[in-house]
Each structure stands twice: as structure tokens, then as C-alpha cells.
Structure 1
Amino acid sequence: MIKSKKITVVYQGYVDPDKLGSGNSDGTDFLYNLAQTKAALPDAKIILSTWNSFEFPAQYNTAQKLGVDSLILNEDPGGLPNIRFGFDAPNNANRQITSAAAGMALVDTKYALKLRADSYLTNANLLSIYDQYLEAVQRGAPQRDSNTLTSKNKSKAKSKKATAKAKKSGKKTNKKYSPIAVANFFTIDPSIYQHMAYHVSDWLQFGRRKVLQEYWSVKPMTTKNATYFENNAHDMEATFYDDQFRTRLAVEQHIAVNYAKSRGYKVPNLYNETDETILAGHDRFLAEHFVVLDIDQLGLSFPKYDWVKNDEFAVLNCVNHEDWYRLFADYWQVRSPNQVLLQAGDERQALKRNAVSITTNQLSMNQIYPQ
């Protein structure tokens, strides 16, 4: 299993200076969050990357006093208008990009783990699960077509041809597999309620240093894109309050789309733009470049969003581990796949197909974007 000494934790985001040392377990005391994560990953390096727009109390104003290896105080890029009309809280896309990228730039270990400053790890289970999927691919899953995620039958046919060709040529059939582990909330399933492809969760991200450094090399969101629908009509059918969107792409999309585009995927130009190619590419993107884990598998505690675990809409609106495993096993043609996970994934798909009649007064997703 991956050892914690090979990991650097990049804590990024706002730290409430008034709550430091309070002992609060609700995510507001960064020192509490830090202590829990250190207990889970005792030998990991810790970087805190935040902004210079607030002052730490004197007893916590250095890295040593905070108990971290490095403290980065970034120039605060400020907030953009909220991504949805009717809400006043800022869109903090550029604050997140700035703090995450600055923290990642200092990582010199093999692996990196990005966490929000108001969350923490309770255990290191994600490391063994991550290893499990690396091994599943390394055991001999054949190289896949890089253009689309095919149906199961087509995948098997292509897999056999690729394997036969590889055996004849003596070449290895595996692609280099270096995924990013992410949370199920809010990795959106664009085929269900909110049609937002490439909306990959930014709560927690774990993977090789160089991969995460590249993922966070995205340019800031421009004011023009942040206010796109102030000057442009919602020219596609919007569902579940999607017509309240002000921004061209959601924050998570802005970041993931940049990464996907650099790898040749057809990506959405607008937050709810979908067609068959975009949807197929989105599925392949998740299978090829991510490991989507439920928050309990990750050992992630994010008190601010505890409500989401019991929210029926959010549970179906997102890609959980079982949903992802179906894509992973098909794409990589995993040998001896986990039939329990596959069956659970099939049952989830059936449930989703029958769940589109949810009424708007059941919708709690409004809680997400004002934050």
C-alpha cells in the first residue's frame, strides 16, 4: 500500500482565524481538521495554501505555529458574482484555483492529496482502494480505444482484437494508468437531472503529484465567462433551476473541462451542453482518469455537507462508486470484475431511469452553489 511518507496534503481555502484552536468538530477549526488528517496520514507532509486577505492570530501566524510544513499566503484574487442568479455569495473559482495550484507547485513527494481547509480525513482507507484499482489495470486490462466508451459487446470485440494484435507483436497492451481519486459528491451524472458533463468533484483529490499539478494548471475563470448568461439567453432546455445559471460553466466544469480538453475530449461549451459524443466522452473520462469513491470509502469528513448523504436527489444526481465501477470495468475490460458492484451499478441505473419525475419542491441542490 502507498505509504503516507510519500504523500503531501495540500490544504487549500479559507481558514477562519477566530475558530482556530476552538476544538470545533464542525469543520470550522482548521487545527482540529489538521489533527484528524495527521492521525490518518502520520508521515505525510502538510501544506496550507490560503489567502492574504485575513490575518492569523499571533500564536498561529507561521507554518511552525500552525503545525504545517509550509504556509502559503496567496494574493487574494477575490470572488466573482455567484454562479446562479438570486444568490449573493461569491463564486470562489479563482480563489480555489489560486490556492490549489500554489500548494501543488510546492509538492515534491510522489503523491498529493488536495483537501478543503474545512474538511479532514478520518482514516487512510482510500490508499488501499486506490492501489486496488491500479493493480486491476496492471494485471492485464488491454489498451482501449481512445475515442469513445463503447457498448459492452463492442468493447469485448475490440478488446479481443487488441489483445490478439498485442500478443502477435509482443507489445504491452496497457496504457499508463494514473487516475485521480475523487468523491461521489458532486461528480454529476449528466444523464439524470442536471445535465452538466465533466462536473468532477473538487472536495478531495488524490493522485500522483504531476497529474494533480497538471489538473490544477487551469487558467482563472474570466469575468466574461462568470457572467455569461447576463448577456446571453439560456438557449437550451433547462431543468431543475438550470436556467438560474449565470456562469458559462460551473466551477468544477471549468477545471475538469480544461484537463479533458488537453487530452482530446470533446467538451461542453456551456454548462448543460450535451450530445452523444460529449456524454460518451464524459463516461470514458471518468473511467480512464478517475476513481470515484463514496465519501465513506474516502474516509472524508466534510461537516458542512453532511446533509447531502441523506438527500435523495443528490444521491441520484451524482456518480457514486457503483456507477463508476460499471464504466471502469467496461473500459479497462477488467479480468474477473466484481459482480456485486456490477449488479449494484445496474440496479442504480434502473433506479435513475425511473426517477426523473422528481418535483422541484424536493430539490435541495440550491444549497450547493450559494456557498
Structure 2
Amino acid sequence: MRFEDITVVVQGPVQNYAARAMDEGITQRCLQSIRTYLPGAKIILSTWEDQDLNNLDFDQLLLNQDPGTNIRYFTAPDKPKLFNNNRQIVSTLNGLAAVSTKYALKIRTDNYLISNDFVALFEQPLIRQAEQSVFQQRIVISNTFSRKYAKGKPVAYHLSDFFYFGLTQDLLKLWDIPLQDNYDLSQQHQVSPHYPDFPIDCTQMFWQEGLKQFNQQIELLHLHDLAGDKLKASEAFIANNLIIAEPEKIGLALCQKFLGKSRANRTRGKCSFYQLSDWHALYRKYCDPSHPLPYPALFKLFLQRLIYVFPSRFETKMKIISRTKKMHRYSQILAKDSK
């Protein structure tokens, strides 16, 4: 693959964005890392109006109108939970729409490259099941927040939104999704969809919306919704359409927010994510029964999950009981406010 055939969409606020704390100089580092590890690739910076762009090295600039935050649910009747989902959709989709090369890489403004190993992962000769293949080729993504387990329990389509590499047409399909409406508490009469179950994660929402154009039946009612064959469908999709690997294995470095003592960097958090060894197991199960498995890595991962992941299922069960008790009180408040 020629690096000249790759366009990198760097999306999000630049490092001086007052409303969001970011590592000093992280966007400059991101852009410079692309020049270092993908020489000849084009860089599109897709960010917001009214930002200081001094000393930022890019080939094309997109200044998007800020759609603002969106409310996905409430933690209590008077506490809306705000997210940047629409901001991510706008900056990512507009950036990808401006790409003219065959391949595209989508990366956040607060992450950066430490290698181009993702290219070698992408170019592996791999088998696919035609009936399960949504994209023209697999997309390489980071395992950070690509959860196999959430709150100790298995989850479907809980896939990272940090990093994507693949055919431009495939990434465009994935991100051609509508902006999200604010959750209407007065209409729903509960603080979150399907309360007391936990609402779906933002990453589940992104993938669910992106995949609806291929399969209208994909719909998760809550975080742990595995009704029917949803888990099997999620695993088959991953095996045939993605390659999931740890940041260091694809050549990605994360900002300090996700390092140090952050939950995403602790053993308990990391082993709940899909690992490359997990992906190999899914690939063998759904695509190629002769594919060799990294048994030592899988055994180590099982032991870690035995210690850090599976015991939290009891904690989650107790939280659901607590949320059930709150549900009656919240219902009374919402009924009173609607009168």
C-alpha cells in the first residue's frame, strides 16, 4: 500500500479548546506523528469554528458548525446526561466526505501514532463469509472501549470509536448516521430507555446506527440486551468485518486521560476489552476453523477475567435492584411534573 493512497481525518477540538481539557500540544503531536509514520498521506483536520490553529500542520481544514451536546438519558429527573455524540458525527462524517483517496484513517485530535502497524494488520490475507460481510474489506479498530464485557456481563456491538482504518467507502458507510435527538423525559416518563436496565453505551449507539443501513433488525434495547441471537450476530460481524487490536499493536498512543490510573488503563478495565487474541478466537470460530490460536494469551486473559471481570456481575445485579427501587420514586416525580 502506498501512503499517498491514505487520507487521515483528524477529528475533534484542537488542544486549546477551552470547554475540554486536553494534553498540552497533543494535536500538534498527532499531526506530526502522521507526517512521521505515514509520509505522503494527506491530512484533513475536521474541527470547530473559532479555534486557534497556529502551528498545526495539515493539508485541508474543515471548520464545522458546532451542533452542541446532546442528552441521551437522565441520571435523575433533574439531571440530564450530556454527550458529544453529535459533535463526533459531524466532524467525522464531514471529514470522511472530503476524502478522495482509496483508504482513510479516522483518529481523534487527542491521540497520535507511534507506528503504522495497522497497515500490516489490514493487509493480512484472511477468509470471510460472504453472507456476513458488510464492508468491502475489514476495518482495523482499537480495542480501547471495544468491550467484550461491561459491568461483568457480555455485551453486543460495544465497539470503540477512537480509531478506524480501512477503505474510505466502508468508513463512510459506517458514519453516515443521523444526528441524535435529545432524550425527551416528558414523553418517555422514565429517566432512561428501558430503565432500570442500563442504557446502551455511546459506542453501541454509533455502531447500531451505522449498521442499520445493512440490517434494520439490529437494535439494542439496553446495555446488556442479548435477546435472540444478538451476541452471536455481533461476534460474527466482528470476525468478518473488523480486526480489533490493542493500541500498541496498531500503532496508536492515547492521551493521558486514558493512561495512568484511569479505569481504561487498569487491568480490570483492559481485560474487559476485546484483545487481539479474542479476535483470533472469533476468526477461527466464524471464518477459518484451521486458524491457529494464541492459547497462552487466551489462558492469561481468562484468568484475569476470572479475577477482575466475572465477580462484578453480582455488583451489577445489586445495582439493578437498587435502580428498580428508585424507579417507583422517579415515576411519581415524573407523573407529578406532567400534570
TM-score by length of 2: 0.78
Q: Which has the higher strand share?
A: 2
Residue 263 of structure 1: aligned partner? 214
Residue 70 of structure 2: aligned partner? 80
Separation of aligned partners in 2, 1:186 and 1:51: 25
Q: CA RMSD in A?
A: 3.2
Q: CA deviation at 1:345?
A: 2.8
Deviations 1:162-217 (A, max 9, x none): xxxxxxxxxxxx99751111111101114762554212101111110000011110
Cα 1:280/1:119, change in 2 over 3 Å: same
Separation of aligned partners in 2, 1:349 and 1:225: 41
Q: CA deviation at 1:3?
A: 2.3
Separation of aligned partners in 2, 1:18 and 1:123: 27
Separation of aligned partners in 2, 1:327 and 1:97: 29
Residue 270 of structure 2: aligned partner? 315
Aligned residue runs from structure 1 range 279-298, under 5 A:
279-298=231-250
Residue 218 of structure 1: aligned partner? 177
Separation of aligned partners in 2, 1:114 and 1:94: 16
Contact 1:266 1:277 in 2 (8 A): no
Cα 1:196/1:226, change in 2 over 3 Å: farther
Q: CA deviation at 1:275?
A: 2.1
Contact 1:177 1:288 in 2 (8 A): no
Separation of aligned partners in 2, 1:175 and 1:285: 8
The aligned amino acid for 1:113 is: L
Aligned partner (choices 68, 87, 92) of residue 58 of structure 2: 68
Q: CA deviation at 1:262?
A: 2.5
Unaligned runs of 5+ in 2: 317-339
Cα 1:113/1:228, change in 2 over 3 Å: farther
Q: CA deviation at 1:13?
A: 0.4
Contact 1:8 1:113 in 2 (8 A): yes
Q: CA deviation at 1:235?
A: 4.6
Contact 2:244 2:275 in 1 (8 A): yes
Aligned residue runs from structure 1 range 91-240, under 5 A:
91-132=83-124, 135-137=125-127, 143=129, 146=132, 178-190=137-149, 193=152, 195-224=154-183, 231-232=190-191, 235=194, 238=197
TM-score by length of 1: 0.72
Deviations 1:75-120 (A, max 9, x none): 1000124766388884000000000000000111111000000111
SS for the counterpart of 1:327 is helix
The aligned amino acid for 1:77 is: P
Q: 1:338 and 2:326 equivalent?
A: no
Residue 32 of structure 2: aligned partner? 35
Q: 1:15 and 2:14 equivalent?
A: yes
Separation of aligned partners in 2, 1:67 and 1:317: 36
Cα 1:213/1:235, change in 2 over 3 Å: closer
Separation of aligned partners in 1, 2:80 and 2:213: 33
Unaligned runs of 5+ in 1: 20-24, 147-173, 243-247, 362-371
Contact 2:141 2:242 in 1 (8 A): yes
Residue 352 of structure 1: aligned partner? 305
Separation of aligned partners in 1, 2:236 and 2:12: 30
SS for the counterpart of 2:94 is helix
Residue 319 of structure 2: aligned partner? none
Separation of aligned partners in 2, 1:273 and 1:188: 14
Contact 1:50 1:72 in 2 (8 A): yes
Q: 1:48 and 2:45 equivalent?
A: yes
SS for the counterpart of 2:110 is coil
Separation of aligned partners in 2, 1:332 and 1:228: 44
> Number of paired residues?
305
Separation of aligned partners in 1, 2:213 and 2:299: 31
SS for the counterpart of 1:182 is strand
Contact 2:72 2:83 in 1 (8 A): yes
Contact 1:28 1:118 in 2 (8 A): no
